[in-house]
Amino acid sequence: MPGFDNLILNVDNYKHCHYPLYPPGTEYVSSYIESRGGAFPVTMFVGLQAFIREYLMRPITLEDIDEAEFVVREQGMHFNRENWLGILNDYDGFLPVEIEAVPEGTVLPTRNVLVQVINTDPKYYWVTSFFETALLRAVWYPTTIGTVSWLCKQVIKEALARTSDHPELVRSILHDYGARGVSSQESAALGGLAHLVNFSQSDTVPGILAAKKYYNAGHVSNSGPNSEHAGFCAWGRDGEADAMRNMLRTYRDNGVALLLTDTYDHENAVKNIIGRELRDEIRNFPGLVGIRPDSGDVVQVTADTVEWLMDSFGYETNSKGFKVLPPFIRVVQGDGVTFESLPKIYIELERRGLAADNALFGMGGGLLQHWNRDTMNFGQKASAVRVNGEWRAIAKSPTGADFKASKAGRLALKYENGTYTTVPRDSIPPEENQLVPVFRNGKLLKKWDFTELIERSEREVPEWYYEPFVAPLRAAGNGRVAKPLTVSA
């Protein structure tokens, strides 16, 4: 659509009237992005490189300027054509800014600087804040989704540590089913790639493509043959067993088949069709058969289904005393799984003496869509300006909203003794600053590989980063703290 690829129009309209509002003699404006706290105590930073490569490495053209002038003036908003012609002529259309950021994949406490931006030419002091709309959106959304996914991973690790003998399964437990539940394909791409930092399972193809395009990802995700109600309903109620049998035979060589069981009567499908009529065929299937309930109370249905399958296919007892289904069959629960319901499912499984690895999960809108900028109170604020050669530390401090108080001065991120702290830029040697220059005047200065994002996300962190979210599992289990697990990527 016209205008959608035009960076000058990828803004709030009012941004065009801000450049003359700075003091005379303004030369540099420095701003930063942070999560000001909110639902979670930490962030897993991801997504900036995708934005830089998609938008900032594409130069503004004369046609972009003409189009923007027409659209902006049509809205009754001021437009300074000379500003943009200057960028076109002086910098070949690339924004004269430098961006530095935390290495992507890093998990760190909220209220710390994640990104810092400054103009590189005093003539274009206004450009730092001009593209805030697009930049902030490009950071808050994938970072919020990545954080949700990372915290889900900590819950799963805790559940595996408590009741399973297989901590190595952690990256394969939570599948991304969110593509149809988000507001756009770009959301699916950015949220999907953020989830893949933590897990290797996804059906959100835009996320897979984005990880490959922007982060050089290789084999980043797995999926397998799954069923949907259209195909099963087409066989009719009396043909439900035939529909399942057809899928088992069709995908026998693939080694995976996920069977929907709630097309009509979930309990009947599990106990009678799967547990009796198709029992031998499932036992002899060369791979994994997933039993997929898709409705009902997610906590009770998951645990009930595990037990019904054990009645038909038996179980083993692992070293921790919990029951485990035979390796050829698992429950795959993809309905109603959210950040809030996931620990409740594990609590119920443990209460019944069922190991965590009896079930795999898929998360859709609860992963990619049920969040907004206020979830973690993301903001981008100017913190320093240089006017007539003199730097001024600036900050906002509104009454009635203490959390909106911003940081002042040019900033750095310090890491010492396992603790991140945002400090004045000149208070530490440059080599100790954890912020890395990643972009300057149209050039990508640092290119992160997806494997690097995964490695950083899996580094050991203080337990307080995630303890509130695993605490319900420990409380339900009489306070027993699971032995920490070491899991490779």
The pLDDT score that the predictor gives to residue 489 is 34
* pLDDT at residue 397 greater than cutoff 90: no
Nearest in space to 212 (alpha carbons), one of 227, 226, 196, 199: 196
**Phi, psi of 74, deg, nearest 5:** -60, -30
Q: Which residues neighbour 155 within 8 Å (Cβ) at sequence distance 6 or greater? A: 342, 343, 346, 466, 469, 470, 473
- 444 forms beta bridges with 439
Alpha carbon dihedral 87, 92, 93, 95, in 10-degree steps, equals -70
Dist. CA 136–CA 32, nearest whole Å:
10
What DSSP letter does each residue of 30-60 carry, written as one string?
EEEEEE---S-SEEE---HHHHIIIIITS--
Q: Residue 398: pLDDT band by 50, 70, 90 thresholds?
A: confident
Tell me if 229 is assigned to a ligand binding site. Answer: yes
* Strand 115-119 to 97-101 pairing: antiparallel
Q: Which of 352, 355, 353, 347 is CA-nearest to residue 477?
A: 347
Is 16 annotated to bind a ligand? Reply is: no
CA atoms of 5 and 221, how far apart (whole Å)? 29
The arithmetic mean of pLDDT across residues 398-421, rounded, is 91
- The neighbour count for residue 332, using CB atoms within 10 Å, is 24
Contact 85, 65 (CB under 8 A): yes
Q: How confident is the model at residue 482 (pLDDT cuts 50, 70, 90)?
A: low
**Backbone φ, ψ for residue 412 (5° rounding):** -140, 160
18 annotated as ligand-binding: no
109 forms beta bridges with: 42
pLDDT of residue 488: 39
Per-residue pLDDT band for 480 (boundaries 50, 70, 90) equals: low
Q: What is the mean pLDDT of residues 441-460?
A: 98
All structural domains of the chain: 151-368 (3.20.20.70)
Q: What is the rounded average pLDDT for all residues in the chain?
A: 95
pLDDT for residue 208? 98
- How many residues does the structure list for the chain? 489
- Beta-carbon contacts of 143 under 8 Å, excluding residues fewer than 6 positions away, are 35, 43, 44, 45, 46, 47, 114, 194, 376, 378
Tell whether residue 81 is among the known ligand binding residues: no
Give per-residue pLDDT as tens, 206-259: 999 999 999 999 999 999 999 999 999 999 999 999 999 999 999 999 999 999
Output the pLDDT for position 484: 53
Give the model confidence (pLDDT) of 263-288 as tens digits.
Answer: 999 999 999 999 999 999 999 999 99
Residue 301 CB neighbour total at 10 angstroms: 23
**Helix, strand, or coil here: 430?**
helix
Termini Cα distance of the chain: 40
Would the annotation count 296 as a binding residue? no
Confidence band for 401, pLDDT divided at 50, 70 and 90: confident
The string of DSSP codes covering 251-280 is TGGGTEEEEE--SS-HHHIIIIIIIIITHH
93 is in an annotated binding site: no
Going by their DSSP bridges, the two strands 174-176 and 359-363 should be labelled as: parallel
- Please check if 335 is assigned to a binding site: yes
Give residue-wise pLDDT tens across range 328-372.
999 999 999 999 999 999 999 999 999 999 999 999 999 999 999
The type of residue at 383 is S
Report d(CA 22, CA 370) in Å as an integer.
38
Query: pLDDT band at 3, cuts 50/70/90?
Result: confident
Cα 80 to Cα 72: distance, rounded to the nearest angstrom: 10
pLDDT at residue 479, as a whole number: 61
Is 293 a known ligand-binding residue? Answer: yes
Structure-token pair, residue 243: 């529909």
321 is in an annotated binding site: no
| pLDDT surpassing 60 at residue 399 | yes
Global pTM value: 0.95
Contacts of 330 (CB under 8 A, 6+ apart): 288, 289, 290, 291, 357, 358, 359, 360
What is the identity of the amino acid at 206?
A: P
pLDDT of residue 478: 72
Helix pair angle (62-74, 81-91), 10° resolution = 160
Helix (H) or strand (E) holding 107: strand 107-109
pLDDT of residue 78: 93
Q: CB–CB of 96/87 below 8 Å?
A: yes
Q: How confident is the model at residue 1 (pLDDT cuts 50, 70, 90)?
A: low
Proportion of the chain above pLDDT 70, given as a percent: 97
Residue 8 and residue 131: Cα distance in Å, rounded? Answer: 8
Distance CA 422, CA 34 (A): 10
With a cut of 80, say whether residue 178 has pLDDT above it: yes
Q: How far is CA 487 from CA 8, 146, 203, 468, in A?
A: 45, 19, 24, 21
In three-state secondary structure terms, 357 is helix
Q: How confident is the model at residue 483 (pLDDT cuts 50, 70, 90)?
A: low
Q: Which residues contact 454 (CB under 8 A, 6 or more apart)?
A: 105, 197, 489
Q: Which two tokens stand for residue 465?
A: 């980063």
343 is in an annotated binding site: no
* Predicted local confidence at residue 9, as pLDDT: 96
Say whether 386 sits in a helix, a strand or coil. Answer: strand
Task: Answer yes or no: is pLDDT of 456 > 50.
Answer: yes
